[in-house]
A and B are shown apart, each in its own frame.
Chain A
């Protein structure tokens, strides 16, 4: 999967730019390497770090945001909502993820199943 120009343009300043001014002596920078062009987005991690606050139980249950598992919304709706957000309810991720990565997120949501046991 290729990162779009947006991702390529955004990641380096975010990941490499020096952090805020500090009185602490500079240490060896340990920036995360920008994701390789063909590196798939780990959507499970994304839910654990970001999405899961609102989409409870990893998207399996309603929380602050709707339950995503078994959603009746179509793929285009989900894609656009992730990309553009909804004021006061859902952040916009269009400058963070490429369209291809957002498609990966939608695929992950479609594959969500209840926890076993």
Chain B
């Protein structure tokens, strides 16, 4: 790793500063305490605050006036290859967001005027070799800087006021590993945490801690065999190319100084081991710390505790979903984390299992998960050959990597579920023993409807601890974007067809909708400037899940662009 200072980085970057007044609001320092307290008007980190509620307490927009919600302004980032997938951030009236190729913008939150923009110069030949690319899922802010990762393995810090490069640190040898960073970083306590892509890409899936002031790497945790004990869970030295990674931002528990992060799946995705997965197949053993939730010491990156949600994940239902919903109930502190399979894990703050519930109807990769212990019951471990009964859910998951929303006023967790399956033929492949410029899937497969039914998606309003369902709204195709709930008793869902819906948070009654002109698969937030509330949503379709929509559903998806996008901001007319 090497750190380039701004004087070196500037010649290879394009930073355009526009001489506009940054905001009517008075800019204040964004630090750990401010993110922890989640101010009324801002959206300071990917998940809103370290509580990860994706909730805004703003109540100006509410059921009595949401019918008057209209477009306030739009921003077009350009070159939105595979759509827009990021989560905007807002501090002191300035909106920061990223697009494909890590294009980064600072906009006046009230008007959309560009304050500055930054387009990093990337290794385009490398990006052209990548499959999960070139989208970017967001930035972090703190200590006067905006932090964004790149597909060619760098983490870049930009001055919040000017967009000028403060530092540019190469963390991954992406030429060798092919992968880089698509997920948003997390800022806390003077450190930037960012996780690499991995999963089906042969590597060891590092998560990094980087000094926010200097860009110097502080620590690195390998999600594949990151401890001596974990090495023993990978037979035949398969840890060398185990996959893993942590490509979505987790959160920070300030009470214990712990980073909570979800890790991705092992490679190959599908193993031919059969039931003897402890000793047979491509990667014999439990494959720690893939498909796990981990707690790392913020200062050192040392592993404090973990729970492997899917030991020896043989289905690509990983734990990389970044939500760690921090709840206090009846004197107990909980953390709620959705697994890609559609099972929702409820933990204590040390990641001890307290409950497990399921949001999907169609699920057969296991018979169940023990709600007291988290143990998988009746798991399906495939041998090479055609799998007789379709696997549910589909590889795109029972839930998306996008986030749900917890509303402390209603006590309900609003989360999207996805009902789809896949036919599968597992292939016994030659072991891949070193990183290379190819994936490692291990099967041929095809999307399929659930047995006896059709593919669909649903927004559920549930108790986050017990999973008890209060209401549900169904969609003909699974929505892939994030969910927002507000103190105005509203729940916003940007769907795949391109419509943003607002529902009554208590009943699920639809109160408003508006078309954004293309599908959604990214973030939605609310913020306020000069006493006025705004809803900001990114529109723009394309990516590993949404690329299946045109051949599967036809209709509007046939003509929906996968290289376009816009940030659309709403306010009351």
Contacts and interface: CB of A to CB of B under 8 A. Distances in A.
Interface of A: 10, 13-17, 19-24, 27, 30-32, 42, 44-50, 52-54, 56-58, 61-65, 84-85, 87-89, 91-93, 95-96
B128 A92 contact: yes
Contacts of A22: 204, 222, 225-226
B551 interface: yes
Interface stretch (B66-74, B426-434, B451-459): B426-434
A99 to B, nearest CB: 16
Contacts of A46: 438
B425 A58 contact: yes
B111 to A, nearest CB: 31
B82 interface: yes
A19 B435 contact: yes
User: Which residue among B226, B440, B547 has the maximum number of chain A CB atoms within 10 Å of its CB?
Assistant: B547
A57 B203 CA distance: 26
A2 to B, nearest CB: 20
A70 to B, nearest CB: 15
B176 interface: yes
Contacts of A91: 128-131
A24 B225 contact: yes
A28 to B, nearest CB: 8
B550 to A, nearest CB: 9
Contacts of B172: 20
B484 interface: no
Contact of A93 (B129, B240, B430, B447): B129
Contacts of A49: 268, 429, 432, 438-442
Contact of A30 (B82, B204, B240, B441): B240
A24 B226 CA distance: 7
Given A24-B227, A50-B439, A63-B548, 17 more contacts: A13-B176, A14-B435, A17-B434, A22-B222, A22-B225, A31-B434, A32-B434, A50-B440, A50-B441, A54-B547, A57-B425, A87-B128, A88-B562, A91-B129, A93-B437, A95-B437, A96-B436
A68 B427 CA distance: 19
Contacts of A58: 425, 444
A19 B240 contact: yes
Contacts of B432: 32, 49
Contacts of B203: 19-20
Contacts, number: 133
Interface residues of B, number: 54
Contacts of A31: 433-434
B430 A57 contact: no
A56 B550 CA distance: 14
Nearest to A24: B231
Given A47-B444, A56-B446, A64 B129 contact: no
A48 B441 contact: yes
B222 A20 contact: yes
A91 B441 CA distance: 16
Interface in B222-241: 222, 225-228, 231, 237, 240
Contacts of A56: 444-447
A88 B222 contact: no
Contacts of B423: 57
Nearest to B551: A62
Contacts of A89: 562
B129 A92 contact: yes
A20 B207 CA distance: 12
Contact of B436 (A14, A19, A85): A14
Contact of B434 (A16, A47, A52): A16
Nearest to A21: B220
B129 A30 contact: no
A109 to B, nearest CB: 14
A13 B227 CA distance: 26
Contact of A14 (B130, B176, B441, B563): B176
Nearest to B437: A96
Contacts of A88: 81-82, 134, 542, 562-563
B175 to A, nearest CB: 9
A30 B442 contact: no
B544 interface: yes
Contact of B544 (A44, A47, A64): A64
Contacts of B437: 10, 14, 93, 95-96
Contacts of B547: 54, 63-65
Contacts of B439: 49-50, 53
B118 to A, nearest CB: 21
Closest 4 CB pairs of A and B: A48-B427, A64-B547, A88-B81, A58-B444
A33 to B, nearest CB: 10
B149 interface: no
B444 A19 contact: no
Contacts of B131: 53-54, 91
B206 interface: yes
A63 B551 contact: yes
A84 B563 CA distance: 18
A85 B443 CA distance: 22
B304 to A, nearest CB: 16
Interface in B246-292: 268
Contacts of B389: none
A113 B215 CA distance: 53
